[in-house]
Amino acid sequence: KILQTLASRLEELGIDTQQPGGLCCPLQPIVPSPVINGYRNKSTFSVNRGPDGNPKTVGLYVGTGKGQNIVCVKANHIEHIPLKHKQVAQCYEDFIRRSPLDPCLLFHTGGHWRELMVRTTSCGHTMAIVTFHPQELGQEALATQKSLLKEFFTCGPGAICALTSLYFQESTMTRCSHEQAPFQLLHGEPHIFEEVLGLKFRISPDAFFQVNTAGAEALYRAVGELGQAGGDTILLDICCGTGAIGLSLAHQVSKIIGIEVVEKAIEDARWNAAFNGISNCEFHSGKAEAVLPQLLSSWEDAQPVVAVVNPSRAGLHYRVVRAIRNCKSIRRLLYISCKPEGEAMRNFTELCCPPDPGKKLTGDPFAPTLAIPFDMFPHTVHCELVLLLTR
Ligand SMILES: C[S@@+](CC[C@H](N)C(=O)[O-])C[C@H]1O[C@@H](n2cnc3c(N)ncnc32)[C@H](O)[C@@H]1O
């Protein structure tokens, strides 16, 4: 449907893609995930009222806001969440049920205990991040809560989780970056480590990492093949997170340039490069819309460039699209999206439409060339789409 929508958008702009089934380009079969159950390496559990009315229930929301029937249910029946995550969630629930402090159900009605994030890796590491609304608590009272939480997970009943890292974030907003509300390490190691395609990756609490590690390996392998990037090519890894895509392809190209907005993820990417002995790379921290136009404005056209973009659901900023489109050296572009029906569709259209000087889209248009969906999220309807665009 996405490829059909793109075909009809392009047709409206006078570009006839003429593929069977009304698609904008050939579509390969879905690449299966090597792991189907318990594949998630990151789970986020909410705290709210359960079906029995207990407001200290740790789990996932079901119901709808419109139907006013949202409840928080334990995640024990969810097949894509590994047992370890469920164990940490259960322990956190036990902890907050013993705590005299209230849960924070709505920010303005008070309460403290908020969501729990659990991250695990194939080397057996487990990171737990507890979010806490400080409300009016002073430093001393906060310190007491942190020490009770630490004690519970290190020498109390929570010790069965054998956490590698326990983080605490005092946060008054829905989602806060490390810069807005620092992740405070209460116990253990500051990072956990994951292996992808033979490389070791360090992961900070707020750095993005694909939630299905085995699925990510299949994805990165395909990116390497589709990019057709040779030894003289520069690979631009836009929205690079901890650098996983670029670093896994560093051996086949002349240089990797990664751009990422989360500062800690860039620190991880630099560490990952150094640890794995990869020196043909540079990582820029900042918004791609600020970094990329500047980087490409002084670009020598001689060297071929393959661009890989893997933005969050919000898609790419218009300035990023414009910079890519107007850089003649970029002949191949791999757009990887977990939500291709949203903002990404707008990006596809801007990348493929006829030149439009009014919008400063002067470079030749890209053409959708091949689409491959990856079953990155088994047990859900979502999939990760790789769209190869060439010109
Ligand atoms: C889907 S993740 C991809 C990460 C990486 N490619 C990987 O495979 O691990 C999207 C990344 O884009 C980053 N991001 C979001 N908005 C951005 C922006 N405006 N500029 C640069 N990076 C951004 C996020 O922090 C996140 O790390």
Residue matched to tokens 């933005």: 311
Residue 261 near ligand 1, beta carbon < 6 Å:
yes
Tell me, in angstroms, the distance from the centre of ligand 1 to residue 335's CA: 12
- Output the pLDDT for position 106: 85
Ordered structural domains, the chain, with CATH: 2-30+211-390 (3.40.50.150), 42-190 (2.40.50.1070)
Tell me, in angstroms, the distance from the centre of ligand 1 to residue 326's CA: 22
Contacts of 379 (CB under 8 A, 6+ apart): 36, 37, 78, 79, 80
Residue 165 near ligand 1, beta carbon < 6 Å:
no
User: Relative to the CA of 259, which ligand 1 atom is closest?
Assistant: 21
| Calpha distance 243→235 (Å, rounded) | 12
Which residues are part of the catalytic machinery?
Answer: 338
Mean pLDDT is lowest, of 299-303, 305-309, 340-344, for: 299-303
Q: Minimal CA–CA distance to 206: which of 267, 123, 254, 162?
A: 267
- Output the pLDDT for position 229: 87
Which residue has the CA at smallest separation from atom 11 of ligand 1? 239
Give SS3 for 339.
coil
Contact 103, 96 (CB under 8 A): yes
**Beta strand pairing call for 367-374 and 384-390:** antiparallel
- Output the pLDDT for position 303: 82
Residue 285 near ligand 1, beta carbon < 6 Å:
no
48 is in an annotated binding site: no
- Output the pLDDT for position 341: 87
Residue 316 near ligand 1, beta carbon < 6 Å:
no
> Is 80 exceeded by the pLDDT of residue 70?
yes
| Calpha distance 386→383 (Å, rounded) | 10
The mean pLDDT of 132-141, rounded to a whole number, is 95
Which own/partner pairs from 15-20 qualify as long-range (CB within 8 Å, at least 24 positions apart)? 15/352, 15/353, 15/354, 15/365, 15/367, 17/367, 17/368
54 is in an annotated binding site: no
Which residue has the CA at smallest separation from atom 12 of ligand 1? 239
Tell me, in angstroms, the distance from the centre of ligand 1 to residue 346's CA: 18
Neighbours of 336 (CB within 10 A): 24
Tell me, in angstroms, the distance from the centre of ligand 1 to residue 312's CA: 6
The pLDDT tens digits of the residues spanning 221-248 come to 999 999 998 889 999 999 999 999 999 9
pTM value? 0.92
The pLDDT tens digits of the residues spanning 139-165 come to 999 999 999 999 999 999 999 999 999
Averaged pLDDT of the chain? 95
Measured CA distances, 192 to 41, 92, 180 (Å): 11, 20, 22
Residue 220 near ligand 1, beta carbon < 6 Å:
no
